[in-house]
Structure 1
Amino acid sequence: MFDQEQLMIAIKEYVENINLFDKKATNLFRHAIVDTISNTVTVKENGEIFVATGDIPAMWLRDSTFQVLPYLELVDDIPSIKQLIHGVIKQQLSFLLHDPYANAFNIEENDRHYSNDRSNIPISSLVWERKFEIDSLCAPFFLAYRLYQTGYQKHINKDFWKSAELVIDTFITEQRHEQSEYRFQRSDCPSSDTLQNNGKGTPIYYTGMVWSGFRPSDDACHYGYFIPGNCFILVILDQLLALLIDNKQEKLKEKIIQLKSEIFEGINRYGLITDQSGSLYYAYEVDGLGNQLFMDDANVPSLLSLPFLGYCKDNDPIYLNTRKKCLSEQNPYYYSGSYLTGIGSPHTPPQYVWPISIAMEGLTTADIAMIKEKIIKIANTDDQTNQCHEGIDVNDPKNYTREWFSWSNMTYCQLVFHYMKLINKK
């Protein structure tokens, strides 16, 4: 049986020997890396491990992946981390099999929901929220592949492949969303919290890409084809193909290869914009009808995060051109103030920058000086709470959303590990 207490002690002892170049940054790292295992993780008797997002008692498939992903940096010294990750994946796959259209789940069938939404099916008592977000279906397999890369394979089992087939079939269905039964409507809420057109979303045309109702911010997509999410799908399709090398599931393999080809073609045909100089960059969302939206959001997957996810190299010309525009006033959610500069989100107030996006700037470069700058900047935004927040006022770090946000904490830890690996290579 997985021993959560012993793992917490082992992690705490390990990180107490890590000293960064800045005392405040060190203290935040030591606290954040232990906080997730001690305050968000619940181990169930069946071996599933539930990971709450922080100040909300639900588990998001995407958030939980990035909450525990940094722990894989410690597996060589603390092997029991592999059991933690396996347990999280087991829980994620169980949720996927229960409802592949839901983004967040309860720890048990307690009938707690964010809102009483109208959907095409009654919302399950296990589901916290039923927003269809394509990145939610990618995240568990992204985590599973990272665990597999450590040499651990026990999680690649029947449930894994059953879940994979369900996800692939769901993606194929949502390539032609007009034929899908999925609906989502919420009353008495901002327009970003519900889907237009009787819950079907704004009009789209077939592109080969997969439709997404919502972004990783849980805000509704303006246009139905979310480009960073479709890039993320291509990443996990390649990973699934790598795992299928010694597997005899030829029909699943054929589905994946076909889906990969169609999404790739769709991104390159509809998801690229040409600027005035003739250079290409990625759109954030498109509809296949000629409409393209450029912006970037702090939540991952984002355009900024594409190299971190493994979609492209950090020196890829199209990515670099896209990155430059994301980190400029061409992105309507790029904010600059007397204290902070960076990417925020329409999910939070204007002029609020997210530590997740600050960390992602560092996670998508090998520039050590820049990475140090980002680490220090994030550490200085905690307002003496020893926690990373969601969004922070660019002019006053005492104004922020969410005092406790585990995903933000752990993305900061991921950045610290990135820095340490680069330093050790020198």
Structure 2
Amino acid sequence: MFVLLFSATSTGPTVFPLVPCGSETAAMVTFGCMATGFTPSSLTFSWTKNNVAVTDFIQYPPVLKNDVYTGVSQIQVRKEDWNPSETFKCLAAHAAGNAQATIPSTPPSPPRKPHDDEVSFSCTAKDFSPKHSEFKWLRNGNEVANTGKGTDLYGERKDENGTTLYTATSMLTVQSTEYTEGITFTCLFTGQGENDKVFKNASVRGETQRPSVFMLPPLEHTRKSEVTLTCYVKDFYPKDIFVSWLVDDVEANSAYKSNTTNSVEGSDTYYAYSHLSVTTDQWKEPDVVYSCVVYHESLDNTTRSIVRSIGYRSDDKPNLVNLNMNVPDTSVEAEEDCMAKTALTFILLFLITLLFTVATTAIKVMTHLTRAEGHSRACSFLYLKINK
């Protein structure tokens, strides 16, 4: 008689903490703990608070994926009982070795654009009954093609009336290339209760990048009755930006015309233009300073905004202006290393503006020659796009 013995390879878990989640108005704070990459499936979670055992927690059955198991445990604490100075730990006990994780006490940062190959989402529905339910994942409103990418975990408990209440978590893993600016993943949970369907969204943003701001030389129109000031904002992320104009440190009123283009996407960053149109008489008023003020979320609380100013100088040649490139002291150090690039960019923009002026003049002269005398002239607007 022959006896064949087979032994499976045992692998211990790797444990990750899941940071507190929940809205600011929620009564409970939820902590989580995820154990991954273990085999066989037998694994037991335990929790401690300040090294004292906590018994009221949920442990989901492990799920097999790619020949290894993943397990999740969750614990909830009343918001009024949660002190960030307290230490919560979860321990995953396994035959191949134990592992533990400590829950961070600081609030989680907003989600950032992932740099790894994959990014994972989790969606939890708590205390529903009956058990029959369904999760769906949507990408910009369309169902994720391979629903099998989602992993669903279920747990249960009994309330004070003996009713069995269920908790379910669905996890979705996608390639990081699928999770970029403008992409929204939605978790749709459907149960058999009386309540309507519940949607939860997850959006992403990249690391913020501080804009560079340039005030271009004024563009005097062919009619010489109007001058356009241009503020060029470049290399910022994300795309939301606000530009306002000041005249002698007072917000420009209806006597001035201003507009800002939509943010244009370049190579991982955005750029935009803002224009202020003034009459020649307004422009040549002595000692009047025009400023563009740029607001962006990348600017810290001490800087708050970037200001660029310009004004007419009567003691110089026409259109020669006093260009003020000063910025708050807190911003100077950050910009010193790019002054050479700034100067080159400014020169190129000046040359492009000059060519734009010549082209505009030529077009208007040709239009004048080809039209009968006395016909009204139509205003032509040319938009110049500068590629980064």
Tell me the TM-score normalised to structure 2 length. Answer: 0.19
More helix by share: 1
Higher RCO, 1 or 2 (CA under 8 Å, sep at least 6)?
1
Tell me the TM-score normalised to structure 1 length. Answer: 0.18
Q: Which structure has the larger Rg over C-alpha atoms?
A: 2
